[in-house]
């Protein structure tokens, strides 16, 4: 693959010569625990991205979302992410069993800044904790506990460049990719139609969120 490019950066020294070094403010903004500011951010966030990798370093990034405050704050060093029903691939959880290092990115709609957390994760089934994140009488089967090692605010430049929270910049829904069409063409399942997959998706969204 490297032969396809004229110049591939291979060392941090090369990279620093191009990018430079962070300011003192940037270096000092990282903390190792959840202070009141971070806790408030998490309590108002309805969405996060969970990044994991297996023992080989093969990576995965997976969304997690629910009503604001769905992540349970246990203390200043630990939080719990309820594992809601999904497609049962369990990519994130399988990776955590092999490699506990994780990265989290919390978002709040309308806010450009994001909250980044890095730490170690493990899977728990403590009933008293899972009961606290039950919805409509259904508690999660598993919780992902993260022990915080790094925590810091990420600036809003990427959100502003993408205009992520600006509805006037969004594409018309009719022009957006069809998940059903993509799944149909990727799976190539005989006798299955795009309409059937779309119906299955909608049924899951309606009846199997919890």
The first and second tokens of residue 24, run together, are: 């003192």
Mean pLDDT of 48-69: 97
Which residues are bridge partners to 122 per DSSP? Answer: 145
Mean pLDDT of 81-97: 97
Residue 145 · residue 124 · CB < 8 Å: yes
Query: What secondary structure, in 3-state letters, does 165-200 show?
Result: CCHHHCCCHHHCCCHHHHHHHHHCCCCCCHHHHHHH
Domains and CATH numbers, the chain: 10-162 (2.30.110.10), 171-207 (no CATH)
For 156-202, write each residue's pLDDT tens digit. Answer: 999 999 999 999 999 999 999 999 999 999 999 999 999 999 999 99
**C-alpha–C-alpha distance, residues 54 and 41, integer Å:** 29
3-state helix, strand, coil in the chain (%, to 5): 35, 30, 40
pTM: 0.95
4: confidence class by pLDDT, cuts 50, 70, 90: confident
Alpha helices in 36-139 (DSSP H): 36-44, 91-98, 127-131
The first and second tokens of residue 87, run together, are: 């497609």
């Amino acid at each position: 693959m490297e032969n396809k490019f004229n110049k591939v950066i291979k060392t941090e020294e090369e990279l620093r010569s191009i990018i430079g070094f962070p300011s003192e403010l940037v270096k000092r903004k990282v903390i190792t625990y959840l202070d009141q500011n971070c806790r408030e951010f998490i309590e108002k966030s309805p969405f996060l991205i969970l990044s994991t990798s297996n023992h080989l370093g093969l990576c995965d990034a997976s969304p997690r979302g629910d009503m604001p405050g769905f992540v349970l704050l246990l203390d200043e060093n630990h939080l719990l992410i309820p594992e809601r029903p999904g497609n049962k691939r369990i990519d994130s959880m399988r990776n955590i069993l092999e490699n506990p290092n994780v990265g989290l990115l919390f978002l709040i709609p309308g806010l450009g800044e994001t909250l980044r957390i890095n730490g170690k994760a493990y899977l728990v089934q403590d009933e008293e904790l899972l009961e606290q994140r039950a919805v409509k009488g259904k508690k999660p089967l598993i919780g992902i506990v993260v022990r915080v090692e790094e925590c810091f605010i990420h600036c809003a430049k990427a959100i502003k460049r993408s205009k992520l929270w600006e509805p006037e910049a969004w594409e018309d829904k009719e022009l957006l990719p069809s998940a059903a069409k993509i799944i149909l063409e990727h799976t190539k399942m005989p006798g299955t139609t795009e309409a059937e997959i779309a119906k299955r998706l909608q049924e899951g969204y309606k009846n199997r969120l919890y």
